[in-house]
Every structure is written in structure tokens, then in C-alpha cells.
Structure 1
């Protein structure tokens, strides 16, 4: 029997850690966390936020790490090796990443364009009309349109070419080096941005609005659900990213300690983003003669592409501030985009025994085409908003529930996975992890799924037509399910389970002995 091709690896623990943090720190940290915190108790929100990080975020991060490192493969390969019929769950996670890839690239193209627009404040006196009208050429109402916005094509093409370039270079020379370059640069740029924001008139009023605690909100179950949702969506867990990334770790790798560092680093950046965003919003409120609570557009794309251009036009040195802000969006988004793409490329490589260049070209070509036809049209913003809502809050939550319940109760692999974590980690994971993964996390996620699903079914979303939500929202979730079933059924490379592909404790002991001799 032919020997399997040796699996790619990170250069070391630091390379993996930077890639993991780069994946977690994305657009949601900058434009989602500040608004969610503000609307859910301000400073008091940090209490449920920290509880959610410790009881759900980090435990699921540990689970992803353990699965990827123990079973050495992409998500479909890992779940196939974990239990009979498990490949479909892996492909469901890949499908979620595929969908997110298609619209994430468009947002990066927007950010890249606005980095350039910041130089001369091209949005003029009305950023709303510029973004929605001149730039996106947004239709008056949701629908299906093949009317592609021409000036979106060049930045979108450049984004996909950059992603393709990193993918072709591989895990160590592409993904790892991109994160080693972009993540420190992101931290420096954003730190400069925050420091500048803190010295703006009205900055303290903005920070008071964000951090003044409303402890009465702690009795509101919606606040706790919002905290779990924010942690869950910001850590890149339960849809294949960390499973894939951890599979490239060397056998002797400290999984648990790395997970703790990645989890707290992501949350630290979110809080830093909250400080920067609300200090800036405080300045805007002061300049407008209104309270921070009277401002609109404090979360999502409108915050970034309408509210911030307004602020940039008001402040001294606005163009520099704009380049820093939108440049930070590009860097944060690109490191996340690379991680999402790696999930899909790795799965296709392993299933069909393709080379990295061929798999990368195929995936980027297909996703790039879909991103143009669905998200770069005059109805693209509506489609992006809808697909993002449903694929995140229905698709990813469903994936996490299935993963935790199957691992904990179906195949009962938690003891084996905890032993694996403890075998390679300095920080020892106790029985508390079993209870969190088996009981607390599934219950919280089921409540979140039930609450969101009920709201979407009864109230709809953003007043969009029901037919449109069924097609683009529930349709995105349905597409992920069909994608999973089809790719599971397709014939592919037989999983031979070579010894050099699966983790063996003896390999760890041999590696330690070699290091002692050296």
C-alpha cells in the first residue's frame, strides 16, 4: 500500500497561535461587539460575557483542538474517523464556511475601497447616500438581481487573488506567514486608532455610555443569550476552522494553554474595539449636540461604512483616521477569510486527493463567481444581510449542537479527548469540561436556536418579504444540508488511516526522547 503524503504543519506553536488569533479576530470584533455590549447592559454585560467565554467559548475551542489534533484531518475526515456516518457533519461545517466565504470577500472589497476613499473623503457630505446609492447602487427593496455593480469587480477580484496567493503557498509559507505579518500590523494600527480616539472631544461620554453598568439587565435572559451568541460567533468555533488548524500542529503541542491564550486574546481585542468605537461615537455625539443614546447605526456594516465616514469628515486629521480604521478592517477580515478558505480547501484536497494549487483554484473560482452573482449586485446588501443572519444563527448553532451532543452522548469520546488534551498540555483539563460540553453548552445552544428560530419564523427579519427570507435565509441553511449530503455521497480517496496521519502517544514519547538527546 502506498504511503500517504506527509501532512503539512505549522512551523511551531507560535505560528499556530497567531493563525488561531487571526482567525478569531475579524470584522465582528470591530462592528458587532461594541453594539451588542451597549444594548445589553453596558459594563454589566462583561459579567455574562466572561461567564459565556469560560463556560462555552473556551470549552468548545478545546473540543475543536482535541478533535483536529487527535484525528489529524479536515472536518469531514475527522468526523468520519470519529464515528460511522460522521463525514456528513464535517461537510455541513465545510458548507457553512463555503457560504461565509462567498460574502465575506465582498465585505473585504468594500473595506479596501473605503481605505482609498478615506484619503480624499470621497463620500462627500452624505455618507449614507454615497454607500447605499453611489457605491452599492442598492435597489429600493430586496429581490433577485443579476445587475452587477461594475466598480465592485476590481476590488473583489484583488481580494480573491490575494486569498488565492496565500492558499497556494500552503499552511506554513502562506497562511502562517500572512498571519505573522498582518496580525501584529493590525494590533499596531488599531492601537494607534484607539489612542487617537481617546483624545477626541466627547470620548469620555462615549466610554461612559458603553461601560456604565446597568445591573438590572443581568436578570434578562436575552442579555445572557446575547453574551453566549457574541462569544460563540467571535471565536471561529464549531464550523471547521479550529479543527482544521489544529490538525496541522506537531504531535508535541500544548493545546489547552494555546486555547486559553487565543480565547482571552480575542476577547481583549473585542474590548479594545469597544473602547475605540465608543470613544469615537462620543466625539460624533458631541459634535452633533446629541447624546450617545440618540445615535443610530452603531453596529454592523452601517457603523463601518456610514457612521464612521461621518465621523472621519468631522474630525481633524480625518483621512489618516479613516485609512487606519478601514485598513484595520481589511487586515482583520483578511486573516479570518484565509482561515475560512482553508477549511474548504483542506476538505476538498483530502476528499478528492487534489494538490493544493488545484483545490485552491477550484474553490476560489467557484466562490468568487458566486460572490459576484449574489453579493456584488444591486440587491447584494440585502442578500448578504439575510444569508449572514441565517447561516450564523441557525447553521453554526445547529452544527455546534450536533457536534457536542454526538461527541458527548452518541460516541462518548469526551474521556478520550480529555486524556488527549491532558497528555499534550501543561494546563490540565478537569471533569468540569465534560459537564460543560455534555450539558451546559448543548442546553444554552438549544435555547439560543429555539429563540432565534421562533423569532425568524414568526417575526421574520428586517421586514424583508417572507418569500425572500425563505429563499435566501432558510435556503442558505438548506443549501448547507444538501451540500453535506452530496459531498458525503461522492466517491473520493479512501481513508487509509496511516499511522503517520493519526496521533499516537508513542510518537510523542519518541519525539520527546529525540529532543532530550539533542
Structure 2
């Protein structure tokens, strides 16, 4: 089976940046920065970008390009015993796409609601009551929220047809359309936010440095965590995307462009969000700390409130904001599902079209779980555990295996031969020592925190079954899939890539 390739370098970079720029850039970064020292947070953030983000991107671009296939196949080609790691990351992507698609469906619904401000004055009650139909407890599942099903079907249809068309005609083409459009629309929102009364107040809260927090280890943990999650590393995404690169492609410069493009958008999101929050604080005559929020609360409770109080163009602002959430989510969803499609294709020797049909059908079916009355509970718990004990741990294992049991110099020299500039031994030091040490420390803190305080006060049974159970299932299923027979005769060789 001949491997597909990107049409050109720009297509690959736009797709990689599109994968990295997702919902977390808009609703996670601004609040994380605000909570961890404002402008002072940019110091550990930049340090984490240079010591972890870019080095791991270079590593994963190199693994995919050198391994020549999906994550399981690429790891297998580097070392016969490492296929399971690739499948572990595939399973992590499977878990993530099933709930990520539902959030995009919410954003799609809110894009429509913005046309007549259908959420009313009590935006919190509208979200949790009218729209989500949230039940009283985790184990009270409730029925399917039928009004969420239609936008969810649309989301899956867009992702399906994009992947069905392939790399050049599907992923690359949509990336070249969506990414410039997303940036244009978000710039419009930013300029509108900056023109509002109170925008300066918000920006002062966002950028004014609290230097005391720079010396707090939690700030550095937050910075590394943000870099890790926002760049789509350890999801097998960048390995999969780079496997479609021609052998003479630049990887070093592409990694820098992808990383700085992602961080630039995060900074833009921070400016936009806090200029709007400043306006909200002035209008409500409260301190900005009372309106600052992150995650679902920011996007679907706070921003609708802001939109309600705008002096003009309320509907247009709402349409643009939620439209940006949809666009950012779709490009990330395409990349996450491609991870699974590529792995299934390689393992079972399927055509792209057949693999896309099967994978989409399974993922869509599972995603319906999050469209129930308890869907938000499931989403919150599973997202927390799969990121804290899935993505971070798989990234740590990846760095240990490649850093200590593989000749990193092979990947470095391979990339240097075809890149615009060469990277030195500093890269190997980051991959082998610095970043694994930081991730190990973060993982220990996560474990301590999990036992110290139950996450968000959820019952222990839910945390164990849904959270820990899901994270553990990803590992076990990854191991099971690694033991299945390869049906593609081209990939049965046990020879390690030289």
C-alpha cells in the first residue's frame, strides 16, 4: 500500500498548526496564564516551549518521517518491541475524539443561537438546563439530548468526508481554507474586543506580572502542561502527519514554525478573551476575578453574557466567536481521527475509504454517550484523567524509550540533512534529560493530587470507573492491538530502521 504524501510544505505546516490550534488555545491558555502570574507566566511558558515543545515536535516529526507510517508502525519500525506505545497513543486519541466532537457540536449549536441570542439572560441555566439537560448526578445518565444529535452528525460528516478524500484532496485542502479563515475571523473578534470599554482593564490583569508566582513550582508545572497539551504531542498526531512527508522534507524549521504559530495564536486568544472580560467587569461593576473563567464555563456561560451586553453587533460578534470555536475544533478533530484511521489502515491492510467508514462509525457511536443528560460529567472526568494520566504518561514513556534506548543522533542527523538549519546536542539533552524530568515531576504531582482531593468532588466510583478505568483501558487496548497479526505484507518485516 503506497503511503500518501502532502502536496507541499505549506500544506503540511498548515495542517500541523491546525491540529495544534484547538479549543484549548481559546479557552484554556488565557485562564492558565491569568491564574499563574499574568505577564510573568510568559517566562516559564517560553522556557517550556523551547525546552519541551519544540524539541518534542522535532522528535515526533523525525519519528514519523523515519518510521514511515502510522504511530504503531513508526514505533515498530524503530524497534520491534515498541509498537504497543503507538497503539497506546492511538487509543488516547480515540478517547479524546469521542468527546471533543461533542464540544464542537455544542459550539455549532451556539453559533446558531447567537443569531437571535437564544440563550437569554441566564446563560448558565440555559447551558446546563435547557441545552445540556444536565442530570443531578454522574450515574443518572438521562436520555439522549436529541437537539445535540443533529450538529453532532454534521461535525462527524465534515470530518468523515475530509478524511475520505485523503491527504492532498482532504486534509491539506481544508487546512488551506480553514486556517487563514480562522485567523482572519479571530483578528476581527480581537479588534472588536480591544475597542470595548474596559478592554484596558482586562489586558492589565492579563499582562501585569506577578513575579512572586515565577518562583512557584506550580506555575512551571502549568506552563509545561499547557505547552504539552496545546501542541498535540503524545497523541500520535504529529507522528502520523509527518509520516506523509517526502523523505527530503525539512523537519527542524517546520517544528519551529508550528510551535511559534500555535503560541502566537494562544497569545492572541489571551488578548481577545481578557479585553472582553475587562468589558464585562466594567459593565457588571465587579472585579475581573469574578468574571474570569476557563473551559466550558468561559465559552458557553461567560461569553454569551458578554455578547448580551455588547453595545452593538451582538449577534455578529457571537456568530464569529462560536464560528471560530467550530473551525478550530474541526481542524483538530480531523487530525485526531486521522491517527486512528492511519493505524487501522496499516495494521489491517484496508483502503483509506474503508478504514474511514469503520473508524467513524465506531467513534460516532461512542460519542453519543456525551450527548446524554450526564454527558458533561462523563466528559469532564474522562478528559481530566486521559490528559493527566494518559497523554502525559505516554509522552514520558516516549521520551524515555527514544532518549535512553535509541540513538537520538540518528533522528537528529536525519533531520539535519534535509532541514534549513541544523540542531545540535542541546536537542538531545532536552529530550533525554530535561523534559522527562519535568514530566515525571508533573506526573507525580498529578498522582498525589488524585489521592489528596477527589477531582471536582465527583464520587470515587465515577473517578475510578470513568476516569482511571478509561486511562487504564487505553493502555490495555493498546497492548492488545499490538499483539494482533499484521495483515499488510509490506509491514511484517522485523528489521529495525537503520
Deviation readout 1:430-474 (Å, 9 max, x if unpaired): 000111000001100000111012101221100000000001110
Counterpart of 1:127 in structure 2 is: 123
Aligned match of 1:163 = 159
- 1:398 is aligned, of 393, 413, 432, to 393
Number of residue pairs the alignment of both structures matches:
496
Q: Equivalents in 2 of 1:502, 1:151: separation in Å?
A: 51
1:318 maps onto 2:332 in alignment: no
Cross-structure match for 2:442: 448
1:421 aligns to 2:412 (yes or no): no
- What is the match of residue 84 of structure 2? 88
Is the CA contact 1:70–1:502 (under 8 Å) kept in the aligned structure 2?
A: no
SS in 2 for 1:119: coil
Which residue of 2 is the match for residue 478 of structure 1?
472
Q: Contact conserved, 1:251 with 1:503, CA < 8 A, in 2? A: no
Q: Residue 245 of structure 1: CA displacement?
A: 0.3
Secondary structure at 1:141 match in 2: coil
How far did 1:496 drift? Answer: 3.2
1:497–1:356 Cα change, 3 Å: closer
CA RMSD of aligned residues (A): 1.5
Contact 2:349 2:488 in 1 (8 A): no
How far apart are the structure 2 equivalents of 1:497 and 1:91?
Answer: 15
Tell whether the 8 Å contact from 1:22 to 1:183 is kept in structure 2 after alignment.
Answer: yes
1:63-142 correspondence runs (5 A): 63-142=59-138
CA contact (8 A) 1:72 1:502 kept: no
Distance 1:46 1:255, change over 3 A: same
Q: Please say if residues 33 and 39 of structure 2, whose CA atoms lie closer than 8 Å, have aligned partners that are also in contact.
A: yes
CA shift for structure 1 position 144:
5.2
Distance 1:171 1:194 in 2: 32
Q: Which runs of 5+ in 1 are unaligned?
A: 505-518
Q: Which residue is 2:243 aligned to?
A: 247
Per the TM alignment, residue 337 of structure 1 is displaced from its structure 2 partner at its CA by: 0.3
Matched, 1:230 2:242: no
The question of whether the paired residues in 1 share the 8 Å contact of 2:135 and 2:142 is answered with no
Asked if 2 retains the 8 angstrom alpha-carbon contact of 1:26 and 1:335, the reply is yes
Whole-angstrom CA distance in 1 between matches of 2:280 and 2:359: 42
- Once the two structures are TM-superposed, the CA of residue 493 in structure 1 deviates from its matched residue by 2.0
Q: TM-score, normalised by structure 1?
A: 0.94
The answer to whether 1:299 aligns with 2:311 is no
Q: Residues of 1 paired with 2:265 and 2:79: CA distance?
A: 37
Q: How does 1:8-23 map to 2 (within 5 A)?
A: 8-23=4-19
1:47 alignment counterpart: 43
Aligned to 1:370: 366
Q: For 1:115-514, what aligned pairs fall within 5 Å after superposition? A: 115-143=111-139, 145=141, 147-296=143-292, 298-315=293-310, 316-372=312-368, 374-410=369-405, 412-494=406-488, 496=490
Aligned-partner Cα distance in 2 for 1:44–1:250: 41
Indicate the residue corresponding to 1:507 in structure 2: none
1:498 CA drift (Å): 9.9
Q: Distance in 1 between matches of 2:319 and 2:70?
A: 37
User: Deviations 1:150-201 (Å, cap 9, x if unpaired)?
Assistant: 1111111111111111010001110111111100000000000000000001
- The 3 A distance-change label for structure 1 pair 193 and 503 is farther
Q: SS state of the match for residue 85, structure 1?
A: helix
Distance 2:299 2:8 in 1: 35
Q: TM-score, normalised by structure 2?
A: 0.98
For the residue of structure 1 that corresponds to 2:282, the secondary structure is helix
Alpha-carbon separation, structure 2, partners of 1:305 and 1:480: 30
